[in-house]
Structure 1
Amino acid sequence: MPTPRLIIHGGAGAIHPSNLPYETYLLYAASLLEVNRSTTSRLAAGASALDAATEAVRMMEDNPLFNCGKGAVFTREGGVELEASVMTTRSYHKRACAVVLLSHTKNPILLAKEMLVRGQTDGSGSSNGGGGDPSGGPGGAQGHCVLGGPTVEKLAQGWGLEMVEEQYFWTRKRWEQHRRGLGKEEVEDEGEDERDREGYWGDEEGWDGREYLPQGTVGCVVLDREGMMCVATSTGGLTNKLSGRIGDTPTIGAGFWAEEWWDRCHQQMGVQAPLTNLIPEGLRGVLGDCLTGLRGYEGLADDDLLDEKYGGKRRSSQIRAVAMSGTGNGDSFLRTAATRTAAAMARFQPSRSLASAVREIAGSGGELQRSAGNRWGKTGEGEGGIIGIELVNGVAKIVADFNCGGMFRCWIDDEGAERVMVFKEEYSSKTLQDRW
């Protein structure tokens, strides 16, 4: 059994020492470490990857420091539209579920989890499946993997999840960020004292427009002792986004992905196609580049033949698995199918590690950055990062890379030490003094 591992992120973007005072960094670091320690304890006690990952994200949804749940950013119209998703490498029929356009579900990640778990019985004849109704019945999400708005929130209420009024998500700093983003420097009194009576920022003077406020997604990737991995992700989206906008967080393969596969040693059998013998040997390679059938059948690998001969048992095989969560400019993740692309690179290029694939997608000069074209560095387009875990031969490797100013992330390294970082290098008060 593998050793449980996890990594969490708390947003990425144009973060620099000039807009992230060291004291503020320490506040974020303490929150991330709290989530990391709590989740680590759960895993040590035998929690599943699904339970551990979703609980980690729930903690961040309840913390106004992050852009999800309480403290999420506002749409252009001044509303809140939350998104969350969850995906596992095995054990659940749907594998991935996501929820969008939420404004009354306190913890969107728990709703995504509920859809995944109930997917085991929806339509199967159980009480969740509507007494045998193949459509899933009125109490379930049917076979759907993504649901949004009033439809899914009605399900959430029926399933007993905690519902809140929209004002619950309001915080002073996010509201001022919203107003400034619309060019309204004078922040109107919108009943702040009443709306923010339980707010995190109630004792502060407000936001000065310069200090960094995380606008990215939060997420957690977990490997449990059974070898299952889960990725859980949640966000409020982009500040002042248009109402109805759907980002990468609930889009399977864009902002999150998890899968496992049998990694087998393939050996070509050398079986030739009938036409091959009619073509001079010197031309076979040239024509084969255009007409692959002329190369001859690649044939089944020895392992594939053994699978049939020995009742499906795989020989000389190992399970590989990957799971990733992205954060940053969601539209760029959507256009590049970022996380699924990274996973495919690792799966179908056997010599490539997940770390190398993530670097190619989310690292400096990678696919996300290239997707922005000449808009790079001007609009925030293409900026982002990815965290993940790769499992090979029962050994887990933590992965993280980003192309922007910084990405909040926390994990326990291979030596068992707690790590929390935002920049490429360690951030300390001395580092800040040196930069100034």
Structure 2
Amino acid sequence: MEKTVMMMTTTTTTKVGSEEKIRPRIIVHGGAGNVTRANLPRASYEAYKRALLSVLAEAQALLGRPEATALEVAVHAVARLEDDALFNCGKGAVFTRAGTNELEASVMVSRGSRRRGVGCTLLKHVKNPVKLAREMLVRGERDDGGGCAHAQLSGRELERLAAEWGLEMVGQDYFFTQRRWDEHVRGLERERGKAEDGRGAVAAETAAAAGPATNGERVRDGDPSWDGHEYLPQGTVGAVVLDRFGTVCAATSTGGLTNKLPGRIGDTPTLGAGFWAEEWMEPSRRADQAAGCRPSSSSSPLDLLSRGDVVGLLGACLPSLSTGPPHVAQKSPRDKDDIRHAVGLSGTGNGDSFLRVNAARTAAAMTRFAPSVSLAQAVDAVAGPGGELEKSAGDRFGKTGEGEGGMIGIELVGSHGRVVQNHNCGGMFRAWVDDDGRHRFMVFKGEEEY
């Protein structure tokens, strides 16, 4: 198995022909949403801080080993969070409307010969879903991968494979925590109360007992279990890691939305929505200019892309049409001036909104196809205040939980890795190692401490 893992993280130089060393980087998150100083007691803040910084320290120590890969470190970090009932994943997963737990997880690496990313969903008995996602990814690289040529699997068959592969299986009672159960009950009671106010006791009983038959009405009215005051976990946990070989890995795990309908599949196991990783070779700046890829003087590629001006974007980034002989600016992918560019992203928040805008891949595509746009700028445009996630909720933003979320990521350009992050909601639990090697933790914006 280790041999297969290393196939996906084979050491290659980031600038072809150079021997520049890459400094490993890591960032982790523990969810995002309508968290405020008013609904996050100091004791809870300190508990999140201790948990995330502990996981960060462990992962950073692993990352310092010469043989450490981004895949192994990211999976280790997320598995540790899955074992902590504080977070909405694994042991601390929220309950569905029916009072059950349905877990999801995913991993993706920026390079791989066959399978770069996989998602697992509708899991009820796998203790650590992220370890199952890793197993799917690694086995998918093999000729005899046991049917793992698929990028996404769910339910009973996947759990059968998990048991066959030796992953730890547990009963549903393992995932029970009183805290999550109380959130589940309060959400249903709040929904029942709103139904009684608007439609009478009979309608209330119907809404509380029914599943899919009332879902359309719930969506139109907003989610009655979301009151904007109590912090209800909407998101995931995740880790993005860059190793010394230049590979970026994003690993993500979640219990989903509080009181989601059974069978609901969110953004966490969906490639491009809640997670993404990729790499590509870029020509040098001189080659870019020779090909005519330069920003418009009036609008940047990011401005054009965010407004949906595809024609303008193509005009800014592609050579202008002419009647003369075409200028061929093709370069060999092994040209010594080519620069390796890699990104990895993990999202957290309202998963249906992430699905609606294909959030993670949208941010990565902004960086890849508009070369003057950094990943930090792209994350701002998607997950920051006023970004695509917020826009997707329209006038429902701030009222229903729609559009809320955040992203963490890492961008590698040449040999330089940069940690990025942003969110559009009350807060996002995150921890990372900064450029000076300090271990940092934040929930809110602008202030590091509570």
TM bin, normalised by shorter chain, reads: 0.7 to 0.9
Aligned to 1:111: 132
Distance 1:34 1:300 in 2: 55
For the residue of structure 1 that corresponds to 2:135, the secondary structure is helix
Question: What do you get for the CA RMSD once the two structures are aligned?
Answer: 2.2
Highest RCO, 1 vs 2 (Cα 8 Å, sep ≥ 6): 2
State the partner residue of 1:262. 281
Q: How many Å separate the matches in 1 of 2:377 and 2:325? A: 28
Letter of the structure 2 residue corresponding to residue 152 of structure 1: L
CA deviation after TM superposition for structure 1 residue 427, in Å? 5.2
Output the amino acid matched with 2:112: S
Structure 2 letter corresponding to 1:149:
G
Q: Pick the aligned partner of 1:295 from 307, 322, 346.
A: 322
Alpha-carbon distance between aligned partners in 2 of 1:374 and 1:410, rounded to the nearest angstrom: 32
Deviation at 1:301, TM superposition (A): 4.7
Deviation at 1:315, TM superposition (A): 3.8
Task: After TM superposition, list the pairs within 5 Å mapping 1:224-373 onto structure 2.
Answer: 224-264=243-283, 265-266=287-288, 295-296=322-323, 299=326, 301-302=328-329, 304=330, 306-307=331-332, 313-373=334-394
**In 2: Cα distance, 1:178 partner to 1:90 partner:** 40
Question: What is the distance in 2 between the residues matched to 1:148 and 1:324?
Answer: 22
- Offset at residue 91 of structure 1 (A): 3.2
User: Which AA in structure 1 matches 2:29?
Assistant: H
User: Cα offset for 1:184?
Assistant: 7.2
Query: Matched residue of 1:183: which SS?
Result: helix
Equivalent of 2:421 in 388, 400, 413: 400
Equivalent residues of 1:92, 1:116 under 8 A apart: no
d(CA) in 2 for partners of 1:22, 1:293? 58
Query: What amino acid does structure 2 have at the position aligned with 1:351?
Result: S
Amino acid at match of 1:266: D
Q: Does 1:11 align with 2:31?
A: yes
The TM-score normalised by the length of structure 2 is 0.78
| Cα distance between partner residues in 2 of 1:345 and 1:297 | 31
Whole-Å separation in 1 of the counterparts to 2:430 and 2:25: 14
1:263 Cα deviation after fit? 1.0
Distance 1:346 1:298, change over 3 A: farther
1:153 to 130, 145, 159: 159
Higher share in helix: 2
Question: SS in structure 1 opposite 2:189?
Answer: coil
Distance (Å, rounded) in 1 between the aligned partners of 2:351 and 2:232: 17
Kindly state the Cα deviation for residue 243 of structure 1 after the two structures are TM-superposed: 0.6
Task: Give the equivalent residue in structure 2 for 1:21.
Answer: 41
Task: State the Cα distance separating 1:216 from its structure 2 match.
Answer: 1.4
Q: For 1:17-56, list aligned pairs within 5 A.
A: 17-46=37-66, 47-56=68-77
Return the offset for 1:404: 0.2
User: Separation in 2 of the partners of 1:404 and 1:295?
Assistant: 47
Q: Deviations over 1:229-283 (max 9, x none)?
A: 100000000000001101000000000000010111235579xxxxxxxxxxxxx
Q: How many residues align structurally?
A: 367
Unaligned runs of 5+ in 1: 130-135, 187-208, 271-287, 430-436
TM-score by length of 1: 0.80
Q: How far apart are the structure 1 equivalents of 2:72 and 2:382?
A: 29
Amino acid at match of 2:261: L
Partners of 1:326 and 1:384 within 8 A in 2: yes
CA distance in 1, matches of 2:245, 2:363: 24
- Quick check: which has more Rg, 1 or 2? 1
> C-alpha distance in 1, partners of 2:288/2:119?
36
Deviations 1:73-122 (CA, angstroms, capped at 9, x unpaired): 0000011100000000113521001100000000000000000000111x
How far apart are 1:330 and its partner, in Å? 0.4
Query: Aligned-pair distance for 1:22?
Result: 1.6
Tell whether the 8 Å contact from 1:68 to 1:217 is kept in structure 2 after alignment: yes
Q: What is the CA-CA distance between 1:49 and the residue it aligns to? A: 0.3
Encode CA deviations 1:32-84: one digit per residue, 9 max, x unaligned.
Answer: 00000000000001311000000000000000000000010000001110000
Write the distance in 2 (CA, Å) between the matches of 1:155 and 1:296.
59
Contact 1:269 1:298 in 2 (8 A): no
How far apart, in 1, do the equivalents of 2:327 and 2:111 lie? 26
Provide the rounded CA distance (Å) in 2 between the counterparts of 1:293 and 1:414. Answer: 40
SS at match of 1:397: strand
Judge conservation of contact 1:385–1:401 (CA < 8 Å) in 2. Answer: yes
3-state SS of paired residue (1:266) = helix
Tell me: CA distance 1:168–1:298, structure 2 relative to 1, closer, same or farther (3 Å): farther
Contact in 2 for aligned 1:108/1:234 (Cα 8 Å)? yes
